[in-house]
Amino acid sequence: MALTIDQPIEQKQQSLPARLFASQTFWVVIAVILACLFLSFATDAFATSKNLYNITRNITFVAIIALGMTFVIITGGIDLSVGSVLCLSSMVLAVTMHAGYSIEVGILASIATALAIGAFNGILIAYLGFPPFVVTLGMLSIARSLAMVASNNTVVFQFGPDHAKLLALGGGAWVFGIANPVLYMILLALITGFILRWTKFGRHIFAIGGNEHAATLTGVPVRQIKVAVYMISALSAGIAGIVQTGWLGAVTTNLGTGMELQVIAATVIGGANLAGGVGTAFGAIVGAALIEVIRNSLGLLGINAFWQGVFIGGAILLAVLFDRIRNFRRSE
């Protein structure tokens, strides 16, 4: 039977609401909205502009790295080194600027460091066949150690002649009073979404996550792409490090400790599959948002901060539970 034009159109119309309900990201968005509504009524402090400003800004550091992590996770890999890379990039920036160099030189050195680490991870994984978990676990240790070496384990809070510029970069609000980090996050999310949906590179990332063997057989440059995704992940950690340095105004060597787990949690809550082949930019942002809203609400509701881990862990399990239920239904 010949294919008529109506068929694909009809099919698309049918599947739009169905696809929405089947999407984990959609339910997480609903959860975030409900949580926000509930908190606006339950507490006076939530819906204030200051609190919202804080929440949106706090989301960004995890979210920016989650965007980079999304690339890695779609290929079926994992990057545990992002927290340490964030710290090292911040430290390289801080030390360079403290030594009297301009902000441009500092940022360049910081980005170059991040990219070099990403390339190192990627080459070990793609060309030498190391498991991503092991390589990036090693790098988690190495990068933080290097940050200590670079700073002699001191706190850096004076950034030389461009001190004010750096603080404005991370702490300012240049457009409509929206915190700068939020603007960077939105910009990076748009770029990530574009790459994943509209470029050959993005398509190949999904192919590698779906069936790496098939991707190799059909001529996809699997190794080069794998190196690229680990470089992107490290780059996102580097960018987050630079922005966070500007926001905090000081860098310590325990910056970003344990952040890799928050980042991975955000991507998974947002619908990315650790087995590879699934993930979106929007999901990464929404996942980061849910984590931050949970954290913020616990504080506002006066619940002991020690409970935070339970709630965030519960959110991870719940998000994946939805996915499992859908799969059970489909297979029946």
Q: How far is the CB of 198 from other proteins (least distance, A)?
A: 4
The residues, ordered by sequence, that sit 6+ positions from 230 with a Cβ below 8 Å of its Cβ are 72, 77, 79, 118, 119, 121, 122, 125, 132, 136
Residue 68 or 209 having the CB closest to other proteins: 209
Which residue has 């706190």 as its token pair?
155
List Cα–Cα distances, 163 to 52, 107, 156, 158, 262, in angstroms.
27, 13, 12, 7, 30
Bridge partners, 178 (sequence order): 175
Residues of this chain that interact with other proteins (CB under 8 A) are 1-3, 7-8, 11-12, 197-200, 203-204, 206-207, 209-211, 213-215, 217-220, 277-278
Q: How far is the CB of 31 from other proteins (least distance, A)?
A: 25
Residue 14 or 254 having the CB closest to other proteins: 14
Backbone angles phi, psi at 251, to 5 degrees: -125, 130
Q: How far is the CB of 71 from other proteins (least distance, A)?
A: 15
Tell me the two tokens of residue 168.
């404005």
**Distance of alpha carbon 181 from alpha carbon 50, whole angstroms:** 15
Residue 93 or 232 having the CB closest to other proteins: 232
Residue 59 or 72 having the CB closest to other proteins: 72
What is the per-residue DSSP string for 214-280?
HHHHTT--HHHHHHHHHHHHHHHHHHHHHHHHHHHS-B-TTTTTTHHHHHHHHHHHTT--TTSS---
What is the per-residue DSSP string for 98-116?
HTT--HHHHHHHHHHHHHH
Residue 10 or 44 having the CB closest to other proteins: 10
| Side chain identity at residue 161, one-letter code | P
Which residue has 């913020």 as its token pair?
296
**Distance of alpha carbon 27 from alpha carbon 323, whole angstroms:** 11
Residue 11 or 158 having the CB closest to other proteins: 11
Residue 251 or 272 having the CB closest to other proteins: 272
Q: How far is the CB of 279 from other proteins (least distance, A)?
A: 10
Are 188 and 239 contacting, i.e. CB atoms less than 8 angstroms apart?
A: yes
Q: How far is the CB of 8 from other proteins (least distance, A)?
A: 6
Tell me the two tokens of residue 174.
């240049």
Q: How far is the CB of 7 from other proteins (least distance, A)?
A: 7
Q: How far is the CB of 203 from other proteins (least distance, A)?
A: 6
Q: How far is the CB of 221 from other proteins (least distance, A)?
A: 9
Residue 26 or 130 having the CB closest to other proteins: 26
DSSP element (H, E) containing 66: helix 49-74
DSSP 172: -
Residue 76 or 118 having the CB closest to other proteins: 76
Q: How far is the CB of 190 from other proteins (least distance, A)?
A: 14
